[in-house]
Structure 1
Amino acid sequence: MSSEQWDQVNRIREWLDANAGELTERERVMMRVLKIGEEFGEVAEALHGVYSANPRKGASHSWKDVRKELVDVAVTTLVALTTLDPEGGGKEFDARLRFLVDRVTPPERATDE
């Protein structure tokens, strides 16, 4: 991710920190990790709505709703990560992403000339 995007994630985290009320640091971490599950539930609800899986609600959501909720999951996850490690969370994410990409990217083959 770009440094601008990490700055935005950190702005959200800092705002949440400033408005966390009486939560301890440990409770703040737990609540932010649990928030990922809540956001995932919203993705599931939107996906059900796309496929009219709930007969009572019918076609209540669109693919745009699913995409929006997926972004919310991603941002919530990044906020939780930087809550655990404000200084190194972004570096850890970037390193892990590189590892995952390298794992699925075939190595360059040497060509005989």
Structure 2
Amino acid sequence: MSEHEDVDLWRSVEELYGWLDANRVVDGPDEVLLRILKLSEEVGEVAQAVVGATGQNPRKGVTHTWDDVSAELCDVAVTALVALRTLTPEARDVFAGHLRRVRERSLGAG
């Protein structure tokens, strides 16, 4: 069994949501806003990793690897799914429906 086979995406999202919910420091609508804003932070970390992987900052040189970029992209995906779960307990269905529409729009009905 590979290390990836035992990870259930939506169960993990639910567990992370529960953990954050149990440890939240802000209640009400601000909680949702802060979870969504967390995405901006994570996307910024992707950009920082890309700059570091390509050595675009001559003062710093190469500071990251493409594996770092991959990890940061995963953080964006997880953060987005947890934010979606914060908005609705039906996150799995909402995401599946949206993915279906994007797929059909991009790849056609077939």
Q: Same fold (TM over 0.5)?
A: yes
Query: Does structure 1 residue 11 correspond to structure 2 residue 35?
Result: no
Q: What letter corresponds to residue 8 of structure 1 in structure 2?
A: S
Amino acid at match of 1:72: D
Per the TM alignment, residue 50 of structure 1 is displaced from its structure 2 partner at its CA by: 1.0
Within 2, Cα distance between the matches of 1:36 and 1:73? 6
Residue 98 of structure 1: which of 96, 100, 107 is its match?
Answer: 100
User: Rg bigger for which structure?
Assistant: 1
Alignment RMSD, CA only? 1.4
| 1:19 Cα offset (Å) | 0.5
SS of corresponding position for 1:57? coil
Shift of 1:107: 4.1
Range with bigger deviation, 98-107 or 47-56:
98-107
Q: In structure 2, what is the Cα distance between the partners aligned to 1:62 and 1:52?
A: 10
- The percentage of counterpart residues that share the same residue type is 45
Q: Which residue of 1 aligns with 2:5?
A: none
Aligned length: 104
Q: What TM-score do the two structures reach when normalised by structure 2?
A: 0.89
Q: Runs of 5+ in structure 2 lacking a partner?
A: 1-7
